[in-house]
Structure 1
Amino acid sequence: MPSAAERTRTLVQSTCSAVVLIPGLDGARPDQLAPRARVVGQDGEVFLLFPADSPAVRAATHAQDDELSAVLEITDVAPVSVPHRIRGRAWVSGWLTCVPGLAEPGSMMLRLEVGEACVDDLWGAESVEPEEFAQASVDPLVTHEADLLQHLHSAHGEQVQELCGLLGDRADRAGGANRQRAVPLALDRFGLRVRFVGEPCFDARFEFPDPVRDVTELRRAMHTLFGAASH
């Protein structure tokens, strides 16, 4: 399974929605605290792009040499419609400063020095040390995951449904997964997670024979998985 640090780093570098929470800015609208872009630097710091007149930039500018604490909160929502659609959240807390000269005129880059991080997702809740976050790898499918899940759902729904045949006794204990709607929920280099929607609603994880490194290897892994389910 992916480590907590990898899952957190992947969420930070994904297209999931995010806001920066800063003490004293309770009156700011969520859209004013949402960075236009975010990227992780070589040392594990998180760079956040904001309009130059945003409340976050004003707060960081006003703080100057004082440490301005902040929390980057990321919410991960499943790209396919499914009950309990929020797949997880991650929080990266630390200290925020302005970095002049890195952004185009009218924008400002803010630097979040990471003090601690944590993730609460489909794998569970775990904390992450700054060093672990800095050294973690990003899942290679992160930029394609939403499109891949939507494609699986729309074009390969019957094959996803057939995966219930790999559950064995677990399907019987759950009341027969073949009578429930199977929805592809999450995808990473280690496998596919499917949510079986019905009474009860439950998730099942289908692991690939080997971790995949790109979409080409993913296609082969999915072909093997569907092949095993059809026999």
Structure 2
Amino acid sequence: MPSAAERTRTLVQSTCSAVLLVPGLRHLPSDRLMPLARTVGPEGDVFLGLAADSPVARAVAHAGGEDPAAVLEITDVAPVSVPNRVRGRAWISGRLTVVPGLAGPGRTTLRLETEEAYVDDLWGAREVRPDELRDAAPDPLLGHEAELLQHLHTAHREELRSLCGLLGGRTAGRCPHHLPSVVPLALDRYGLRVRLCEEAGPCYDARFEFPSPVRDIVELGHAVRTLFEAAVR
């Protein structure tokens, strides 16, 4: 499974929605607190791009030498329609400083010096040390996951339903006729997670691991085909 640090770094560098929570600015609408860009630097700090006239950028610029505390809150929502679409959240807390010379006209780059990090997602909740975040790598499928899940959902529904047959006794007497929806929920280099919802009944998740971690979408294609072939044997 991906480590908590890897999952956190993947969320930071994803396109998931994020807001900067800064004391004194919490009353503002969330769209006024959203960074325009974010990435993780070589030391594990988070670099945030904002409009130069944004409330956060102005607050940091006029902090009078005292670096303001802030929390970057990231919310991960499944890219396909599924019950309980929030897949997880991550929080990075630290101090904000202005980084001169990196932003273009009308932009400001802020550095959030990571002091604490925490992730609560489909895998569970865990603290992440700054050095763990620094050393972790984002998932290699990060830039493709949303598109791939949407493709699986629209073009491979029957193949997804066939995965029910790999669940053994957990679905005895119910599979496949009483599982009207099998929705792809999450994808990473280690495997595929789906959400199964019974008609007028509960939903539950199942995860199918690949034989070995994939490094790119070419290897992912082979892994998914192997998974579907195993399901129909």
TM-score relative to the length of structure 2: 0.96
Alignment correspondent of 1:120? 120
Q: CA deviation at 1:178?
A: 4.6
Alignment correspondent of 2:184? 184
Alignment correspondent of 1:146? 146
Alignment correspondent of 1:220? 222
Q: CA deviation at 1:177?
A: 5.4
**Residue pair 2:36, 2:50 contacting (<8 A) in 1 also:** yes
Q: Distance in 2 between matches of 1:146 and 1:132?
A: 26
Question: Quick one: structure 1 residues 22 and 177, their matched pair in 2 at CA, closer, same or farther if it must change by over 3 Å?
Answer: farther
**Residue pair 2:165, 2:175 contacting (<8 A) in 1 also:** no
Alignment correspondent of 2:202? 200
Q: CA deviation at 1:131?
A: 0.3
Q: Deviations over 1:44-100 (max 9, x none)?
A: 111100000101001111114212100000000000000000000000000001112
Matched, 1:63 2:63: yes
Unaligned 5+ runs, structure 2? none
Alignment correspondent of 1:17? 17
SS of match in other structure, 1:26: coil
Q: Deviations over 1:140-171 (max 9, x none)?
A: 00110000000000001110110000000011
SS of match in other structure, 1:35: coil
Read off the aligned partner of 1:71 and give its amino acid letter.
V
**Residue pair 1:91, 1:118 contacting (<8 A) in 2 also:** yes
Q: CA deviation at 1:172?
A: 2.1
Question: What is the aligned-residue identity percentage?
Answer: 63
**Residue pair 1:47, 1:110 contacting (<8 A) in 2 also:** yes
Unaligned 5+ runs, structure 1? none
Read off the aligned partner of 1:45 and give its amino acid letter.
D
SS of match in other structure, 1:91: strand
Dislocated runs of 4+, deviation >6 Å = none
The two structures, once aligned, show a CA RMSD in angstroms of: 1.1
Alignment correspondent of 2:31? 31
